[in-house]
Amino acid sequence: MEIERIDNTPTETIEGYRVRPGKPLPFGVSSVPGGLNFSVYTSAGTACTLVLFSRSEEQPLAEIRVPDHYRIGDVYSIVVYDLDYEDLEYGFRIDGPYEPELGNRFDKNKILMDPYARIISGRDEWGADPDWDRAYQYRSRVAFDDFDWEGDSPLEINDADLVIYELHVRSFTKNENSGVKFKGTYAGIVEKIPYLKSLGVNAVELMPVFEFDEFENSRVHPDTGEKLYNYWGYSTVAFFAPKAGFAASGKIGMQMDEFKQLVKKLHKEGIEVILDVVFNHTAEGNERGPSISFKGLDNRIYYMLTPEGYYFNFSGTGNTLNCNNPVVRNLVLDCLRYWASEYHIDGFRFDLASILGRDPWGAPLSNPPLLESLAFDPILSSCKLIAEAWDAGGLYQVGTFPAYGRWSEWNGKYRDTARRYLKGDDGQLGEMAQRVQGSPDLYQANGRSPATSINFITCHDGFTLADLVSFNGKHNEANGENNCDGGDDNHSWNCGAEGWTEDRDITRLRTRQSMNAIGILLTSRGTPMLLMGDEFGRSQHGNNNAYCIDSPVSWVDWSLMDSNRTLFEFTRSLIRFRQNHKCLRINRFDHEGSRYLPSCSFHGTNAWEVNWSAESKQLGWLMSCDDEETGHMDAVYVASNVAHYATWFNLPQLPDSYQWKLYYNTGNLESAYYENPANYDEQGILVGERSMIIFAASPRET
Amino acid sequence: MSLTIEIEQGDIHVTITLSGDVDTKTAPELLSKLTALELHALEQLRLDLQAVEFVSSAGLRAIVFAKQKMPHESALYLIGASEQIVDTINKTGLAQAVRIVSSVDDI
């Protein structure tokens, strides 16, 4: 006989609904036998009403004022029975004082989204014009947990073995020529998994997928009439919900399933999923922005406010989430735990992460509790935690981000140094040598490892690789801000003409420079990250900040695969080369090298001698380790010449039992990589102007 | 639009023929018909969807629910589902729970 539990029976009827006092935890909505438990926190609110809707109806089904005695501490919770979960949408009204100067912005006329909502409706289809007259825009729904994972779990690939591929869900497959059926969606990425697999990357880093509103600050370009969106989505509406507009099945509310299917399919092919997460601010903007959720729930708790009650703006986007308030800290922790456990996410990259280390008044903390909690969390213990170690308020922490032995960093110094070195700037060799070996100058002293450094030359912010070698300056007119937006410190070089050109010498040089960039990236220690499409020369026509552009300018043009085949094949081959050569992936600064060679050594035109002077433009690096599986020594030698003239390099000598094989030569675009690398018995090699050559040692055949 | 549900008991299987839309309003009817079957002992369930244009998430969840209650080695056939329905099933990862066939002769 089944025994009916006494704490699971309705105790009263309100507005025709049978209800009882709920459980304060978990926050948000959870299912209990026969009903749903709703729980919401507000410290300064004085009353809470649960508003229920039938799906997509304008007028509520019911408004249930939560009785005061249902509140425990600062949490209102209520169980409501006999609801149709599939059809239900809900929100809250919170009453309380409206005193902006004291930080309180309660307004019981507003219906607020549940900050813990796991699924949101209201922006179900990308770009479909919303009905702005609706009182309640982003509507909380009830999530289902019936997905069949078929035994999937996070992959836990070693940090040092990762090759990350950064992509925007919509841009990746939206173009007509992407060859997929479900363009611009999670399902579209699934269709491109064979491509990712053939490229050889083993992690994708998805630009924001938490529910955001592409219509936030959307506008029309004053000159072109083109519609401009919040395209990238660095402005979260709902932290627990995947963006519906990125799902081909968003219209029927199945974005959760579609996103899980994406993760499961990627995992099946050995590809991890890293999410770009934005906890530094929200879509509610400043005092002029909308009240979506936090603002009306407990403004003073969730946001950093000035003594006058205005919003601090360390994010450059209007408000700053108060991440080191214990309540907010728990929300962040709950959110990441949820994505790690419910969606099997392998890692997170934190946008403007330095903000997460500021105290409620904005001062940087030496021991920030949020960063520490994340680093030592039991559920997140095998997740990658990657910091964008700076913020828009002037904090720059590359090398000093509070890491607790767990955090890695987008290495902005790697990007800047590699760019300057590539274009042949004076005085770059010393710093380039640091970057190539995993930036020990930044990470060794505090006990961190080379894979702390996420190495990249391009990312969504800034030029694509093709634009880096085609433009001296940004061309952001399409963004409608008179070319004032976007960074000016691009360290780019157009190779002789600004933008598109028919000059074959210039286009060939650009291809070579692109190869050199990828060559440096994939032969450096640390974790390399590529930007989508850079492997075949994706361009944004010089736009270095396409955050608002939803057009072929920002979409990956897959026809470039054919026109830039050599670059693609070169990249693909070099990723495999990296995976085949352990010595490039050593993750210790104190590694002693192989039986014959040091772990990492630097060379100039003469082996073992580097001309470190400011004018010097030639650098070689030799990495080595013993390979326990084969019993052989592994060694890779890279000779790079960034001068505008060819230069002779004497090669480092190998022991008699080994010989060099020549794998790559970007000076020879007709065959920049060799399918069957030949033995190379010469003492030296001529490295062409702005070119690099890559050798690997192999046991001498006797 | 309404949904009609016809149930026919075969020797080892049950065939449910649907006609109309399985939307948020009608999915609960399907779910209650499904739960009324002896799912835990059913070897084969055939859902004939030839006369169905639209299946909502609630409808798909009802189908998944049925399969989860059926024995491991059982089979749930979807017969004659439209391209749109099949696409949704593939996109959302429900495909491994069901066997998609174009007609009853393919079973």
Domain with residue A672: its CATH number is 2.60.40.1180
Among chain A residues, CA nearest to B68? A146
CB-CB under 8 Å, B91 with A252: no
- pLDDT band for position A361 (cuts 50, 70, 90): confident
Nearest-by-Cβ selection for B93 from A84, A181, A261: A261
Q: What percent of chain A has pLDDT over 70?
A: 99
Cβ A53 vs Cβ A86: under 8 Å: no
CB-CB under 8 Å, A86 with B61: yes
Its domain, for residue B71, covers 3-106
pLDDT score for A1: 52
CB-CB under 8 Å, B68 with A146: yes
B interface residues, A as partner, C-beta within 8 Å: 24-25, 27-28, 56-58, 60-61, 64-65, 68, 87-88, 90-94, 96-97
Q: Give the span between the Cα atoms of A108 and A369, in whole angstroms.
A: 33
Scanning A306-345 for CB atoms below 8 A from B yields none
pLDDT digits (tens, 9 = 90+) for A73-85: 999 999 999 999 8
pLDDT score for A307: 93
DSSP string, A177-232: GG--SSTTSHHHHHHTHHHHHHHT--EEEES--EE--TTTT-EE-TTT--EE---S
Q: Looking at the structure, do residues A73 and A220 belong to the same domain, yes or no?
A: no
Helix (H) or strand (E) holding A19: strand A17-21
pLDDT digits (tens, 9 = 90+) for A495-534: 999 999 999 999 999 999 999 999 999 999 999 999 999 9
pLDDT score for A7: 77
Q: Is the pLDDT of residue A206 over 60?
A: yes
pLDDT score for A2: 62
Helix (H) or strand (E) holding A30: strand A28-32
Residues 6+ apart with CB under 8 A from A618: A604, A605, A611, A639, A640, A641, A642, A643, A647, A649, A687
Q: Looking at the structure, do residues A557 and A606 belong to the same domain, yes or no?
A: no
Across all residues in chain A, what is the average pLDDT?
96
- Asked which of A527, A559, A582 is the last residue of a domain, the reply is A582
Q: Is the pLDDT of residue A5 over 80?
A: no
Q: Looking at the structure, do residues A570 and A615 belong to the same domain, yes or no?
A: no
B25 CB neighbours in chain A (<8 A) are 87
pLDDT score for A440: 97
Instruction: Judge whether A248 is closer than 8 Å to chain B, CB to CB.
Output: yes
Question: Dihedral of CA B14/B20/B23/B29: which sign?
Answer: negative
Q: Which of A272, A346, A388, A634 is catalytic?
A: A388
Shortest Cα–Cα distance, A189 to chain B (Å): 11
CB-CB under 8 Å, A261 with B91: yes
Cβ A93 vs Cβ A51: under 8 Å: yes
Size of interface A-B (CB pairs under 8 A): 62
Q: Is residue A222 in some structural domain?
A: yes
Q: Looking at the structure, do residues A340 and A436 belong to the same domain, yes or no?
A: yes
Q: Looking at the structure, do residues A204 and A285 belong to the same domain, yes or no?
A: yes
Q: Looking at the structure, do residues A502 and A617 belong to the same domain, yes or no?
A: no
pLDDT score for A392: 86
- pLDDT band for position B1 (cuts 50, 70, 90): low
- pLDDT band for position A701 (cuts 50, 70, 90): confident
A150 CB neighbours in chain B (<8 A) are 96
Question: Dihedral of CA A370/A373/A379/A385: which sign?
Answer: positive
pLDDT digits (tens, 9 = 90+) for B62-86: 999 999 999 999 999 999 999 999 9
Q: What percent of chain B has pLDDT over 90?
A: 89
B29 CB neighbours in chain A (<8 A) are none
A260 CB neighbours in chain B (<8 A) are 93
CB-CB under 8 Å, A254 with B60: yes
Shortest Cα–Cα distance, A338 to chain B (Å): 19
Shortest Cα–Cα distance, B48 to chain A (Å): 21
Mean pLDDT of A19-38: 96
pLDDT digits (tens, 9 = 90+) for A215-263: 999 999 989 999 999 999 999 999 999 999 999 999 999 999 999 999 9
Q: Which of A351, A416, A467, A634 is catalytic?
A: A351
Shortest Cα–Cα distance, B71 to chain A (Å): 15
pLDDT digits (tens, 9 = 90+) for A431-443: 999 999 999 999 9
Give the residue from A135, A180, A232, A282 showing the smallest Cα distance to A460: A232
CATH number at residue A257: 3.20.20.80
Q: Is residue A187 in some structural domain?
A: no
CB-CB under 8 Å, A150 with B92: no
Q: What is the dihedral of CA A386, A392, A397, A398, to 10 degrees?
A: 60
Mean pLDDT of A454-467: 98
Shortest Cα–Cα distance, A244 to chain B (Å): 13
Mean pLDDT of A333-354: 97
CATH number at residue B46: 3.30.750.24
Per-residue H/E/C for A625-689: EECCCCCCEEEEEEEEECCCCCEEEECCCCCCCEEEEEEEECCCHHHCEEEEEEEECCCEEEECC
CB-CB under 8 Å, A258 with B91: yes
A148 CB neighbours in chain B (<8 A) are 64, 93-94, 96-97
pLDDT digits (tens, 9 = 90+) for A143-180: 988 899 999 999 999 999 999 999 999 999 999 999 99
Mean pLDDT of A573-581: 97
Q: Is residue A116 in some structural domain?
A: yes
Q: Is residue A191 in some structural domain?
A: no
Nearest-by-Cβ selection for A248 from B27, B65, B91: B91
Q: How many domains does chain A have?
A: 3
Q: How many domains does chain B have?
A: 1
pLDDT score for B2: 87
Among chain B residues, CA nearest to A88? B24
Q: Looking at the structure, do residues A246 and A269 belong to the same domain, yes or no?
A: yes
Helix (H) or strand (E) holding A171: helix A169-173
Q: Is residue A154 in some structural domain?
A: no
Q: Looking at the structure, do residues A254 and A353 belong to the same domain, yes or no?
A: yes
Q: Is residue A384 in some structural domain?
A: yes
Shortest Cα–Cα distance, B87 to chain A (Å): 9
Active site (annotated) includes residue A498: no
Least confident of A18-22, A52-56, A282-286, A449-453: A52-56
Backbone angles phi, psi at A516, to 5 degrees: -60, -40
- pLDDT band for position A314 (cuts 50, 70, 90): confident
**Core vs surface per residue A619-632: b (16+ CB within 10 A) or e:** bbbbbbbbeeeeeb
- pLDDT band for position B88 (cuts 50, 70, 90): very high
Give the number of other CB atoms < 10 A from CB of residue A583: 25
Its domain, for residue A75, covers 6-141
Q: Is residue A350 in some structural domain?
A: yes
Q: Is the pLDDT of residue A535 over 80?
A: yes
CB-CB under 8 Å, A147 with B91: no
Q: Looking at the structure, do residues A44 and A85 belong to the same domain, yes or no?
A: yes
Q: Looking at the structure, do residues A672 and A577 belong to the same domain, yes or no?
A: no
CATH number at residue A32: 2.60.40.10
Nearest-by-Cβ selection for A87 from B24, B92, B93: B24
Mean pLDDT of B31-49: 95
Active site (annotated) includes residue A388: yes
Among chain B residues, CA nearest to A257? B92
Q: Is the pLDDT of residue A289 over 60?
A: yes
Q: Is the pLDDT of residue A185 over 60?
A: yes
Q: Give the span between the Cα atoms of B33 and B30, in whole angstroms.
A: 5
Scanning A162-191 for CB atoms below 8 A from B yields 181-182, 185-187, 190
Shortest Cα–Cα distance, B92 to chain A (Å): 4
- Asked which of A544, A566, A582 is the last residue of a domain, the reply is A582
A190 CB neighbours in chain B (<8 A) are 91
Residues 6+ apart with CB under 8 A from A264: A149, A150, A152, A344, B93
Probe site for chain A from B56, B92, B94 (most A CB atoms < 10 A):
B92
Higher pLDDT, A549 or A3: A549
Question: Dihedral of CA A442/A445/A446/A447: which sign?
Answer: positive
Provide the residue type at B69 as one letter: K
